[in-house]
Amino acid sequence: MEASSVKASATFSGGVHPAGNKELTSHKSTVSAAIPKRVVIPLSQHIGAPTKPLVVIGQEVKKGEKIGESGGFVSAPVHSSVSGKVTAIGNFPHILGMDMASIVIESDGKDEWVAGLKETKDYQMLSPDELKKMVSDAGIVGMGGATFPTHVKLSPPKEKPIDVVILNGAECEPYLTSDHRLMLEKPAEIIEGLKILMRILNVKKGYIGIEANKPDAVEAMKKAATGSPEIEVWPVQVKYPQGAEKMLIKAIANRTVPAGGLPMDIGVVVQNVGTAAAIYDAVRFGRPLIERYVTVTGRGVKDPKNFLARIGTTFAQLIEEAGGLTEDAAKVISGGPMMGMSQYTLEVPVIKGTSGILVLPKSEVSTKPYGPCIRCARCIDACPMMLQPSLIGLFIEKGHYEDAKDYNLMDCFECGSCTFVCPANRPMVQWVKRAKRELAKKKN
């Protein structure tokens, strides 16, 4: 397959085609962001129990030092991303829209690694359990945005054997190019990370799924996978939400994750390409997850860029390094425009799941009021889960949450395709979030 004309037939049914807008940053090599003078490291950067702080105010810490202890099995430790002194432990703005427990560290500028990081050249000789422990100790979580602790996904129950590992390089969110750049710049690390994953899970077959709009990444990954016949690089159709776990599995393995179930139910584990690279760093060099690729983009910043940024760097600093906000900057989003969360302050930090910072100018912010549903069925055609968002929306609008549940509300993973295509501008995702919360309240 030629790099210039990657064709891909693998996909799922439904989905939408928002404008990609990736040309703002896709050709720009990643640059290291300045070492922040001050980092804010939330104790909760993952799905699951928050970590417990291991440091006190005034304590000196080194880069890579563990500062938060895992709060349970479904949890992940956090590490300092700079060397310096702990200046505060308390509640600070978090991308989830509220203040959350965080550790603030002021950098001493020396950027010294903590002592005792263990390099392992012959890591392929380690046992799956030893490898898994390294992943767990490094605080690695799903870096595509879901931030589910990786070691949990690597510990399937015995009755659910895994036979396929898929790396997710689809990057179907418009604007974002951090995974794209990573695949171009660190393809060997990603392949090694995948091999470690396959060893941990004792799997013989690995796939890397990449949307066909990144032919150079497909080419780079194929080149890096030469000599590894157990790994296949798959271009997949350019369609949102191709990068959703269930949709990617459908496209590549042609397996359907059961409703309410997990990929492991059908023998599949999916990990983001960034997660694979982080796993390689952890296993080969003993380095915990303290930095990641972050795309700072949109027509609301003057000089969109891809950064390698420390966890805990504030949005304010990265936006400043991307030339600053434009005059008409109006909306700041953590993540992509489809599933990302809008922010009210630039003081929120980059966390392990922050793939991008998108700033939209006023002209691109929709403030149109919504109208009545005209039952055009565009949302039904768009829904990758084959739900009826129009009807679910009508139910929730009138407060009939139970009826919405009868129409499979719980199967919605809030990709936003329905809301994107709605000509009446109806906020279906917002309603779905509300209904899920109301139903959870009732249950308790």
Partner 1 sequence: MEATPKEQPKVQPKAPPEFFVSIGPHMRTEESTAKIMWTVNAALLPATLMSVYFFGLPAILVIIVSILAAVMAEAGMQKLLKKDVTVSDGSAFLTGLLIAMNVPANIPLYIPAVASVVAIAITKHLFGGLGYNVFNPALIGRAFILVSFAKPMTTYTQPVANIMAMDAKTMATPLSLLKEDGIAKLLEVYPNIYQDLLMGNRAGSLGETATIALLLGAVFLMIKRYITWHIPITFIATVGLLTWVFGGKSGLMTGDPLFHMMSGGLILGAFFMATDYVTGPSIRIAQVLFGVSCGALTVLIRLKGGYPEGVMFAILLMNCFAPLLDRGMRSRVFGKAAAKGVKK
**Binding region for partner 1 (CB under 8 A):** 18-19, 97, 159, 174, 246, 256-261, 265-266, 325, 329-333, 337-345, 358, 360, 364-378, 380, 384-388, 390-391, 407-408, 411, 416, 419-425, 427, 429-430, 433-434
Q: CA–CA separation, 216 vs 214, rounded Å?
A: 5
Shortest distance in whole angstroms from residue 387 CB to partner 1: 6
Residue 71's alpha-carbon distances to 54, 62, 402, in angstroms, are: 11, 22, 34
Shortest distance in whole angstroms from residue 310 CB to partner 1: 23
The tokens of 210 are what? 């990449």
**Sequence-ordered list of residues with C-beta below 8 angstroms from that of 121, at least 6 positions apart, any chain:** 284
Q: CA–CA separation, 288 vs 137, rounded Å?
A: 7
CB 208 within 8 A of CB 225: yes
Q: Would you say 155 or 326 has its CB closer to partner 1?
A: 326
User: What are the DSSP E strand ranges found in 230-365?
Assistant: 231-236, 268-272, 291-297, 305-310, 329-334, 341-343, 356-361
Q: CA–CA separation, 43 vs 351, rounded Å?
A: 10
Shortest distance in whole angstroms from residue 331 CB to partner 1: 4
Answer left, alpha or beta for residue 84, where phi above 0 means left and psi between -120 and 50 means alpha.
left
Q: In degrees, to the nearest 5, what angle opens at C-alpha 183 toward C-alphas 177 and 189?
A: 140
Shortest distance in whole angstroms from residue 364 CB to partner 1: 8
Q: Would you say 1 or 96 has its CB closer to partner 1?
A: 96
- Of the candidates 236, 159, 233, 220, the one whose C-alpha atom is nearest the C-alpha of residue 194 is 233
Q: CA–CA separation, 379 vs 256, rounded Å?
A: 21
Q: Would you say 105 or 269 has its CB closer to partner 1?
A: 269
Question: Which pairing describes strands 52-53 and 78-79: parallel, antiparallel, or unpaired?
Answer: unpaired
Q: Would you say 80 or 334 has its CB closer to partner 1?
A: 334
Shortest distance in whole angstroms from residue 160 CB to partner 1: 9
Shortest distance in whole angstroms from residue 72 CB to partner 1: 22
Shortest distance in whole angstroms from residue 229 CB to partner 1: 30
Residue 93's alpha-carbon distances to 315, 344, 384, in angstroms, are: 11, 9, 33
Q: How many of the other CB atoms lie within 10 Å of CB of 371?
A: 11
DSSP three-state, residue 378:
helix
* Residue positions counted in the chain: 444
Phi and psi angles of residue 155, each rounded to the nearest 5 degrees, phi first: -120, 60
Residue 343's Cβ-count burial label (10 Å; 0-12, 13-18, 19+) is: buried
Q: Would you say 121 or 443 has its CB closer to partner 1?
A: 443
Q: Would you say 229 or 260 has its CB closer to partner 1?
A: 260
DSSP three-state, residue 248:
helix
Give the bridge partners for 164, in sequence order: 205, 268
Shortest distance in whole angstroms from residue 52 CB to partner 1: 28
Shortest distance in whole angstroms from residue 235 CB to partner 1: 22
Q: Would you say 288 or 349 has its CB closer to partner 1?
A: 349
Q: Would you say 289 or 418 has its CB closer to partner 1?
A: 418
The tokens of 19 are what? 């404008």
Shortest distance in whole angstroms from residue 237 CB to partner 1: 17
Shortest distance in whole angstroms from residue 77 CB to partner 1: 30
Shortest distance in whole angstroms from residue 22 CB to partner 1: 13
Q: CA–CA separation, 155 vs 264, rounded Å?
A: 10
